[in-house]
Amino acid sequence: MTHGFLLYARARTVPRTVLVLVATAALAVLGARNLNAYLDPTRQVPVVALAPLFAAAVIGTSLHSASEELDRTAVRPWWRRRLVHLLALTGCAALLLAATVLGPSSPFGPSAMIRNTLGCTGLTAGAVAVLGTRLSWLPVFGYVSAVYVGSASARGTLVPVWAWPVQPAGQHVAWVTAVVLLVAGTALYVVRGARPEGRRD
C-alpha cells in the first residue's frame, strides 16, 4: 500500500515538484528582499502576484501522467488520488510562499500570497482538465499578466472581482473569487482528470 503510494508519488514527479516549489519560494524571498516594502506596501505586489503564478504552473505540469492509457485500467476510481495530490501540492505551495513574505503586517503579506496561490492553482487545475497538462500554465499566465498590466488604471466596483491577484488582503471579494476558482478548478480536474495528450483516436 505504502509502497504503491510512493511509486505513485514518484510517477508524478512529486519530489521534483516540491523541490521546484522550494526554489520558487527562494526566488520570491530574493525578489522581496530589497523592496523596502515598509515605505510602500504595493512594492510587494509583483512578488505576491508572480510567485503564485509560477507555483501554479509548476503544479499544473506536474499533474501529467506518462502512461495515461494504463492508468485508466486502475481498479480504484481516480478522484480521491487526484484530490489528495492536488490539495497536498497546493497546500505545500501556499505555506512555502506565505513564509516568504512574513514580516511586518502588510496588505500584500502572507494572506494575499495564500489567496493568490489558491486562485492561480484553481485556474491551472481547470486548465489541466480542459487543455491538458502541457499548456495548463497558459490561461493563468495570460490572466494574471493581463490583470497586472490592466488593473492599474481600472475603476469600478467589479475591479476586486476580476483583479483579485493584485488586491490587498483586506479585500474580501478577491478572496471569494480565488476560492471559487480553486473549488471549480479542483472539481473539474478531480472529476475529469487531465485531458489526454498526444494520443490519436
Partner 1 sequence: MSTAPHTASRPVPEAPAATVRTTGLHVRHRRTVALDSVDLDFGPGVHGLLGPNGAGKTSLIRVLATVAEPSGGRVEILGHDTRDHRRRGEVRRHLGYLPQDFGYYPGFTVREFVAYVAWLKEMPADRVPAAVERAVARVGLADRVDTKVRRLSGGMIRRVGIAQAVVNDPRVLLLDEPTAGLDPEQRVEFRELLRELGASSTVIVSTHLVEDVAAACTEVTLVDAGRVAYRGTPLALAALGESAGGPGDHPIERGYTAALRAHRAPEARAGRPSASEGAAR
Closest distance of CB 67 from partner 1, Å? 4
70 binds partner 1 (CB under 8 A): yes
> Alpha-carbon distance 26 to 14, whole Å?
18
Our CA angle for 183, 184, 187, nearest 5°, is: 80
8 binds partner 1 (CB under 8 A): yes
Q: Residue 156: which region, alpha, beta or left (left: phi > 0; alpha: psi -120 to 50)?
A: left
The correct pick among 36, 73, 153, 157 for binding partner 1 (CB under 8 A) is: 73
Nearer to partner 1, 2 or 157 (CB): 2
The DSSP symbol for 195 reads P
Rounded to a whole number of angstroms, the distance between the first and last alpha carbons of the chain is: 34
69 binds partner 1 (CB under 8 A): yes
Closest distance of CB 10 from partner 1, Å? 7
Our CA angle for 44, 112, 135, nearest 5°, is: 90
Contact letters for partner 1, residues 28-67 (x by CB under 8 A): -------------------------------------xxx
The correct pick among 29, 42, 71, 188 for binding partner 1 (CB under 8 A) is: 71
> Alpha-carbon distance 33 to 172, whole Å?
27
The correct pick among 34, 36, 39, 76 for binding partner 1 (CB under 8 A) is: 76
HSE-up (13 A, CA, CB side) for residue 102? 8
> Alpha-carbon distance 89 to 58, whole Å?
10
10 binds partner 1 (CB under 8 A): yes
75 binds partner 1 (CB under 8 A): yes
| Nearest in space to 121 (alpha carbons), one of 69, 188, 76 | 188
102 binds partner 1 (CB under 8 A): no
Closest distance of CB 20 from partner 1, Å? 15
Where does this chain touch partner 1 (CB under 8 A) — which range of 2-10, 32-40, 131-139, 151-159?
A: 2-10
CA 191, chain centre distance (Å): 18
The correct pick among 22, 40, 72, 142 for binding partner 1 (CB under 8 A) is: 72
Residues that bind partner 1 (CB under 8 A): 1-4, 7-8, 10-11, 13, 65-77, 199, 201
